[in-house]
Amino acid sequence: MTIAIAGAGISGLSLAFMLLEKSPDLDIVIFEADSRPGGKIWTEKTNGFLLESGVNGFLDNRPKTLELSSRLSLLPLRSNDNARKRYIYSGGRLNLIPESPLAFLKSNLLSISGKLRIIWELFASKGKEDDETLETFAIRRLGREVYEKLIDPMASGIYAGDPSRLSLKSCFPRIYELEREHGSLIKAMIKLQKEARKTGKKVGPGPGGVLTSFYDGMSAIIESLKLYVGSRLKTGMAVKGIDKKNGAFACYLSDGSIHEADCVILACPAYAASEILKDMDKGISSIIAGIPYPPVSVVCFGFKQNSINTDMGGFGFLCPNRERRKILGTLYDSSIFPNRAPEGYVLLRTMIGGARAGDIAMLKDNRLTDVAIAELSDIMGIKAEPEFIRIFRHERAIPQYELGHQERLKKLDEALARHRGLFLTGNAYRGIGVNDCIENSFNLAEAIVIAH
């Protein structure tokens, strides 16, 4: 069987790896429009700094990513204890997010009324709709203060999204299921903790797990997959369109050639897949064209360690929208992983833009840098000039699972059923994280091999 994969990000490369492991005789070609594979996973080493353009790790609570790493002979690097200390900028200062119920009660992050409103969650009514936005869910169950100070920055930190548009069911399915099953998040937590004591396993409503990467950064997994697939990977070669004739697919490539395949997997972003499919199936093209991708810029700063007075023993901080800051937050990369900055320096990565401030993300370099430095000065008290600056721009960064996303997927599955041998995968559909992409690749590889 001949297989063509469009897109050599983590989804396309891990899918090729798994297909070849299951059936080494498969004839597979991976086409990548960019000059390099990896998509949003891109590690750059400059002036002694190890910089991630986007993704800086994955949680070790999902076995498939660790399994893939093991098969590639990669040694995972778990973050240190600093990664558990996370901050929210609120009320003009950085507030540590409490790690336990007792610490939460003592915290000054929420007012007394905000804390009492959380207890009322026990009596809040269940949602009447099949889905709702993250904003309406959080306010209904936990109150406006918790939403504005905790849930809103969490959504911007993960999705760079607008919680008034994001779908709870699609973005946080575990939370959705707990309310449906137990009627209350507090009741669910109590039951989960009882189960944890019996089984000895740590459970909870959140994703859990330890942030994990590799000593040489996230690109290590991309480089290993690249070596594995070898000459099957064709970079600088885009699939511009596809058609199906006489039971086989014709892939029209950017160099004018045509590649025929029995099976085609579009593992590229939804907007690219929409363009590829616009002539073959306008319905599918239209369905996936509606998935938004807001712009995000990542501004990396290298500072001399002795020039910063702020406590760097943490993961970083996020800024709630109510604070009206011009950045989404900042990660202290050199505090949570080794090898991220030269001796005597610290590495900060500041995220700017997202669904509510995309225009700021696309400012010119000097203006973008000025904005970030001014914000760090105000929030962290950093007055020193950075010794190093590097900007990564993502004009279309993270796909947004907005209200109606599940219905979109249902329509997509129904439409794809008409095209045997055509598949769509990637982070635009069923999970945006590295773990999601790899797990989906495992499942899809098995389905393809069984079907053929």
Closest by CA to 43, choosing from 294, 232, 215, is 215
Instruction: Tell me what pLDDT residue 429 has.
Output: 98
Is 99 within the bounds of a domain?
no
User: Both 177 and 235 in a single domain?
Assistant: no
| Spatial distance between the Cα atoms of 248 and 383, rounded to a whole number of angstroms | 62
pLDDT at res. 434: 97
Residue 127 counted as domain residue: yes
For residue 389, give the CATH number of its domain. Answer: 3.90.660.20
What pLDDT does residue 195 have? Answer: 79
- Same domain as 299, residue 286: no
Q: Check whether residue 283 and residue 405 sit in a common domain.
A: yes
Strand 296-304 versus strand 388-394 pairing type: antiparallel
Q: What is the pLDDT along the chain (452 residues), one digit of tens a residue?
A: 999 999 999 999 999 999 999 999 999 999 999 999 999 999 999 999 999 999 999 999 999 999 999 999 999 999 999 999 999 999 999 999 987 777 777 888 999 999 999 989 999 888 788 899 999 999 999 999 999 999 999 999 999 999 999 999 999 999 999 999 999 998 998 888 887 777 665 555 555 789 999 999 999 999 999 999 999 999 999 999 999 988 899 999 999 999 999 999 999 999 999 999 999 999 999 999 999 999 999 999 999 999 998 889 999 999 999 999 999 999 999 999 999 999 999 999 999 999 999 999 999 999 999 999 999 999 999 999 999 999 999 999 999 999 999 999 999 999 999 999 999 999 999 999 999 999 999 999 999 987 76
- Are residues 420 and 339 both part of a single domain? no
Q: How far apart are CA 342 and CA 330, in angstroms?
A: 19
User: Could you tell me the CATH number of the domain that includes residue 120?
Assistant: 1.10.3110.10
Report pLDDT for 77: 97
Within this chain, do residues 254 and 328 fall inside the same structural domain, yes or no? no
Task: Report in angstroms the alpha-carbon separations of 6 from 31, 252, 348, 413.
Answer: 5, 11, 34, 19
Residue that is written with structure tokens 């269940």 in the block = 126
- Report yes or no on 103 lying in a domain: no
Residue 372 lies in a domain: yes
Of 394, 412, 434, the last residue of a domain is 394
| The pair of three-digit structure tokens given for residue 296, joined into one six-digit string | 């995000």
Same domain for 372 and 383, yes or no, is yes
Say if residue 280 is in the same domain as residue 409.
yes
Instruction: Identify whether residues 285 and 415 lie together within a single domain.
Output: yes
Within a domain: residue 206? Answer: no
What are the φ/ψ torsions at residue 4 (nearest 5 degrees)? -115, 130
What b/e string do you get for 46-69 counting C-beta neighbours within 10 Å, with b at 16 or more?
Answer: eeebbbbbbbbbbbbebebbbebb
Q: Same domain for 313 and 387?
A: yes
d(CA 238, CA 34): 8
User: Can you list the positions of beta strands (E) in 262-382?
Assistant: 263-266, 296-304, 316-318, 329-331, 345-353
Q: Are strands 258-261 and 49-52 parallel, antiparallel or unpaired?
A: unpaired
| Residue 48 counted as domain residue | no
Sheet order of strands, 388-394 included: 93-96, 86-90, 316-318, 329-331, 345-353, 296-304, 388-394
- Residue 355 domain flag: yes
pLDDT at 199: 67
Q: Are residues 255 and 387 in the same domain?
A: no
pLDDT for residue 70 = 97
Contact 427, 11 (CB under 8 A): yes
Position 146 scores a pLDDT of 94
Check whether residue 245 and residue 274 sit in a common domain: yes
Number of domains in the chain: 3
Q: pLDDT tens for residues 7-41?
A: 999 999 999 999 999 999 999 999 999 999 999 99
What percent of the chain stands above pLDDT 70? 98
The two structure tokens encoding residue 112: 């007394």
Domain assignment of residue 366, given as a range:
294-394
Query: Does any domain span residue 275?
Result: yes
pLDDT number for residue 286: 97
Q: Note whether 192 and 139 are same-domain residues.
A: yes
